[in-house]
Structure 1
């Protein structure tokens, strides 16, 4: 399928002061979105774009018969299992093998590597072995190494959700949406640990959401994560909640909740988001309930970038060349059978924001 620009008749309205004074949506602008690729019958959640513009997505293990865990979207819109069919062979039947993707929730390209986050928790039935990161060399298209979380870095009901790579401290920061908390992986010595475990800043704030009037009653804890590399700040947010939190990366260490909570600050109120990404002073995030792609400015103004038919549970964000990519995972509509559903990846230019 050729990539095509489409104008979805996006209607953007300023959001009234639903939350805090600092989070008023204003100065919204209409953005044209372009379809990168769409796939029928395979629900995709994560998206990432490499430095040279290669687009990758992942499909979670939420039901039987998933076609792939990770795929590369080609220039003509095809979804090709990545890095090969063999590494993706386990997801369809939840076969547990060390050399095979089992239950991937997100993918993040960083420099010449692709980090594939495998929850090892197929169908939310519990972690069958340790959650891990498969690190793929984007030049050779082969798995370089596997980073396995230590026993004290996860719980049996953990669902390690998303990640950010911090070059300055040589660590990887992750969220756990199944058992509230953040996870830190130290690349210097290959150790890992949890912080803010079951803490109010990482726990869900509400029991349900209303996605354009449709109830969503699954409780999802810490999910979205964004890294401001210039100011060394990590942002995080529960999906079932409205509070955006931040902590300086220099304050992240293996310590008690009482100690670490003193370093955490509440930034502002937002809509309930899924994924997040930081870019040039703005935190980009979705408002799942109103089906919008928004961004929070340095002055804490919450503005709308895209709203309309092209936004349907905007799940994950990636930015490349001042262009924001996002997936529509349509979680509120996806049941046990998605064979007749279509899931998309869109992109929109943000250079003017």
Structure 2
């Protein structure tokens, strides 16, 4: 015990993360499992191991969501072509999907941001066992705003709820109005929480890839720092803690689901109950295993890392030279973690008008430190 205490003290003084025995494994080289012609956003699974993924909405794909074919080089529209085809008489189609999650009942939930066609955001659940629509939850104002970009979400089967991260960078948004949205799965009611709180708002830190800072057109056409609010989001096994944070920022936060679901709490009280959990790099996707280890996609460095449950220290876990802008990360039924490489950093807006992104686009997998829930 004394030696362990001395080691921890020295590590703290030297600012060196002290890895536990569970985290002492070498960094893995991620394994390519699919080679595709279009950029992949997020990935999820059905209990019988069907692989469902979104085509990244940044590229305005014709097919919003697809199911991976057996050749792992192509995909077919999911749930079908009709749902991937815009229509004017109804919003029963997928407009702009990034986040999607599968549940234990075989329902694939797809988060339609609605930003491409300017329609009301919604959660669409498709039952893969019956091949039928399960339910639609519309996320209307004031739960969503014109500046909303509902990026990713977590399913809470214990409290029958969904928790959504709103980056706040939809049309006209600059991330300052980022928030969390809670949807009651029983009633369909939705609430907007923590809007503009430090835990969801982007910090003023650069996002740099290969030595270049990513900038976007700002006021007067001048380049401005890319700032993205609440992005990664994950729920622990017991549905007690929700973890989240902005893409730009050095902290991961958490809040009790009991507090998010307590409608008697005012904004100030809820804000005080949010906890800083651990230091992190700029990250996109987020997942958690059953032991409480958190997995983050490190968008600047072609890597996925982990924050250990025992020491709350971040370290790299998997890398690959082609893991360019790792985005969604998700558990498969056989225990692997899958991650996409969207190549967002290579698009013209970030490269003086030059398109550096190109096919093929990859889906990778790597080993987690412990098992995790399907699609989480």
TM-score, with structure 2 as normaliser:
0.81
* Bigger CA radius of gyration: 2
Answer yes or no: is the 8 Å Cα contact 1:23–1:270 preserved in 2. no
2-structure distance, mates of 1:231, 1:23? 28
Any unmatched runs of 5+ in structure 1? Answer: 1-16
Partner of 1:182: 180
2-structure distance, mates of 1:349, 1:58? 22
Answer yes or no: is the 8 Å Cα contact 2:306–2:314 preserved in 1. yes
Partner of 2:81: 85
Partner of 1:335: 348
2-structure distance, mates of 1:137, 1:283? 28
Q: How many residues align?
A: 327
Partner of 2:152: 162
Larger relative helix fraction: 2
2-structure distance, mates of 1:199, 1:214? 29
1:217-256 maps to which residues of 2 (within 5 A)?
A: 217=215, 218-230=226-238, 232-252=240-260, 253-254=262-263, 255-256=265-266
Any unmatched runs of 5+ in structure 2? Answer: 1-10, 169-176, 216-225, 350-354, 372-376
Instruction: Tell me the alpha carbon deviations over residues 30-65 of structure 1, each in whole angstroms, 9 at most, x when there is no partner.
Output: 32432221222x22211112222111110233345x
1-structure distance, mates of 2:365, 2:65? 19
User: Is 2:121 aligned against 1:135?
Assistant: no
Distance 1:23 1:114, change over 3 A: farther
User: Is 2:114 aligned against 1:120?
Assistant: yes
Answer yes or no: is the 8 Å Cα contact 1:46–1:107 preserved in 2. yes
Distance 1:61 1:312, change over 3 A: closer
Shift of 1:287: 1.9
User: Is 2:40 aligned against 1:44?
Assistant: yes
Distance 1:292 1:61, change over 3 A: closer
Shift of 1:69: 0.5
Partner of 2:68: 73
Give SS of 1:259's match.
Answer: helix
Q: RMSD in angstroms over aligned alpha carbons?
A: 2.4
1:1-353 maps to which residues of 2 (within 5 A)?
A: 21=15, 27-40=24-37, 42-64=38-60, 66-77=61-72, 78-90=74-86, 97-111=90-104, 112-122=106-116, 128-178=118-168, 179-206=177-204, 208-217=206-215, 218-230=226-238, 232-252=240-260, 253-254=262-263, 255-279=265-289, 280-298=291-309, 299-320=311-332, 321-335=334-348, 340-351=358-369
Answer yes or no: is the 8 Å Cα contact 1:56–1:72 preserved in 2. yes
TM-score, with structure 1 as normaliser:
0.86
Give SS of 2:284's match.
Answer: coil
Give SS of 1:182's match.
Answer: strand
Answer yes or no: is the 8 Å Cα contact 1:226–1:276 preserved in 2. yes
Give SS of 1:101's match.
Answer: coil
2-structure distance, mates of 1:23, 1:227? 24
Distance 1:293 1:340, change over 3 A: closer
Partner of 1:6: none
Answer yes or no: is the 8 Å Cα contact 1:29–1:304 preserved in 2. no
